[in-house]
Amino acid sequence: MFALDQHPSGRHFLQIPGPSPVPDRILRAMSLPTIDHRGPEFAVLGKTVLDGIGRVFQTRHPVAIYPASGTGAWEAALVNVLSPGDAVLMFETGHFASLWHRMALRLGLAPEFLSVKGTDSDTGLPNAWRRGVDAGLIEERLVADREHAIKAVCVVHNETSTGVTSDIAAVRRAIDAARHPALLMVDTISGLASADYRHDEWGVDVAVSGSQKGLMLPPGISFNALSPRALEASKSARLPKAFWAWDEIVEMNRGGYWPYTPNTNLLYGLAESLEMILGQGLEAIFARHQRWAAGVRTAVKAWGLPIQCADPAVYSPVLTGVVTPVGVDADALRKLIHDRFDLSLGTGLGKVRGRMFRIGHLGDCNDLTLVAALAGVEMGFRLAGVATAASGVEAAMAYFAAHPAATPLQSAA
């Protein structure tokens, strides 16, 4: 039974890479009374969030907001622009890329799953799950597709199951270099508002995001950022679409409304989140996440454990995957840490289940919450008898003390 009266004292450490901790300011904003979604007040809210979310995606084009989890927005992206049996090129970077691929199969598309082959000799983990998208492989495959059968290239920006942030601009360049007309579709569910993402500049046609990661909201709303080419493609695409169809949403959004009852209270939360994010500035937020990630990696290196991401060029600013020594069940360790210290760490998903855990450092964090989370992990190691080379907590404290944030804390909203 979910018994709130048995909640432990103090604050739960929600250190998973989404849902991320929801700031009190956002929770308070969401407690306002629900209003008439056809009334004049609502239009102000609707226009405010649509304008603000466009600025976070860095786009001048429409963004659709759905009352759904990120998975719904994945489906929306595919069904709006594709037709039954269409070939799509997807790239295996981890669990979320694999789930999007499985969804494409279930929708009757013909996805091809490109993957870096082999297993890593250090850890025995699949190479594909330790690296980012290889734009060179995409270019090669598109060049070979002379008939232009491939209709879309789908990649995950920040692969939340591994802690890898792929270079989306490089994927755009690969498509252009191959002179291929495929649409570029990007899952930035966990990247948006934490890792640098530039929809228009990078030439992305459809981006997918969700509320419960960098936007610091509870789960429950998700997004499609569009391009003019994507909107054009949606007019002739033949996969069945009704609830997810962009046309009526984009039309009604012009007045600040939706074709159905939107998630009013989550939109209050979104308005508050956007005010926080745009008030602080995207640059400051991206820099803050890079710094936290560097501090956490310093701890993992001090422990002497492998970081899941094997390529320093694509380390995620959002989360760090920690590979446990062979024979140490990462999920048993997570459970021990949760039960003893009320700290939630992300589980290993799919092909890396039991071999790693994930430390989220996104959204509403600061140096001390991260140092405390690392202390929880380090105490867990001791209790589980996991040998570490040195103290990760001390290494992270030294890192944070020696590297002040570029933006002074006091100016943050």
Ligand X SMILES: *Cc1c(COP(=O)(O)O)cnc(C)c1O
Q: Does 219 bind ligand X (CB under 6 A)?
A: yes
Please list, in sequence order, all residues whose beta carbon lies within 8 angstroms of the beta carbon of residue 179, skipping any fewer than 6 positions away. Answer: none
Longest dimension (CA), the chain: 63
Nearest to 93 by CA among 143, 141, 137, 148: 137
252: tokens are 């009604």
Q: Using alpha carbons only, give the angle 190, 194, 195 rounded to the nearest 5 degrees.
A: 85
Q: Segment contacting ligand X (CB under 6 A): 37-45, 66-74, 108-116, 192-200?
A: 66-74
Prior bond of 262 cis (ω within 30°): no
> What is the enclosing helix (H) or strand (E) of 184?
strand 183-187
Nearest to 224 by CA among 54, 368, 394: 54
CB of 101 or CB of 141, closer to ligand X: 101
Q: Segment contacting ligand X (CB under 6 A): 82-90, 168-176, 182-190, 341-349?
A: 182-190
Q: Does 347 bind ligand X (CB under 6 A)?
A: no
Q: Does 321 bind ligand X (CB under 6 A)?
A: no
CB of 71 or CB of 83, closer to ligand X: 71
CB of 180 or CB of 289, closer to ligand X: 289
Q: How far apart are the first and last CA of the chain?
A: 38
Of 69, 83, 127, 388, which one interacts with ligand X (CB under 6 A)? 69
Q: Does 308 bind ligand X (CB under 6 A)?
A: no
Please list, in sequence order, all residues whose beta carbon lies within 8 angstroms of the beta carbon of residue 236, skipping any fewer than 6 positions away. Answer: 83
Of 160, 162, 165, 166, which one interacts with ligand X (CB under 6 A)? 160
Of 71, 83, 119, 388, which one interacts with ligand X (CB under 6 A)? 71
Q: Segment contacting ligand X (CB under 6 A): 108-116, 121-129, 165-173, 186-194?
A: 186-194
CB of 188 or CB of 298, closer to ligand X: 188
Shortest approach of ligand X to residue 161 CB, angstroms? Answer: 8
CB of 69 or CB of 290, closer to ligand X: 69
> What is the enclosing helix (H) or strand (E) of 91?
strand 87-91
Of 18, 54, 295, 360, which one interacts with ligand X (CB under 6 A)? 18
Q: Does 280 bind ligand X (CB under 6 A)?
A: no
CA dist., res. 369 & res. 350, Å (int): 28
Count of residues of this chain found to bind ligand X when the rule CB under 6 A is applied = 12
Length of the chain: 413
Shortest approach of ligand X to residue 154 CB, angstroms? Answer: 11
Shortest approach of ligand X to residue 22 CB, angstroms? Answer: 15
Q: Does 92 bind ligand X (CB under 6 A)?
A: no
Q: Does 96 bind ligand X (CB under 6 A)?
A: yes
Q: Which residue is nearest to ligand X (CB)?
A: 70
Rg (C-alpha) for the chain, rounded Å, is 21
Query: Is 358 one of the annotated binding-site residues?
Result: yes
CA dist., res. 260 & res. 67, Å (int): 10
Query: Counting Cβ atoms within 10 Å, is residue 354 exposed (0-12), middle (13-18) or buried (19+)?
Result: middle
311: tokens are 């390529």
Q: Segment contacting ligand X (CB under 6 A): 78-86, 102-110, 183-191, 400-408?
A: 183-191
CA distances from 340 to 376, 383, 392, 400 (A): 9, 10, 19, 26
Q: Does 206 bind ligand X (CB under 6 A)?
A: no
CB of 325 or CB of 350, closer to ligand X: 350
Shortest approach of ligand X to residue 392 CB, angstroms? Answer: 25
C-alpha dihedral over 158, 344, 267, 52, to 10 degrees?
-40
Q: What track of x and - describes contact with ligand X for positions 25 through 64 (by CB under 6 A)? A: ----------------------------------------
- What is the binding site for ligand X (CB under 6 A)? 18, 69-71, 96, 156, 160, 187, 189-190, 210, 219
Q: Point out the annotated binding site.
A: 358
* Binding residue numbers for substrate: 358
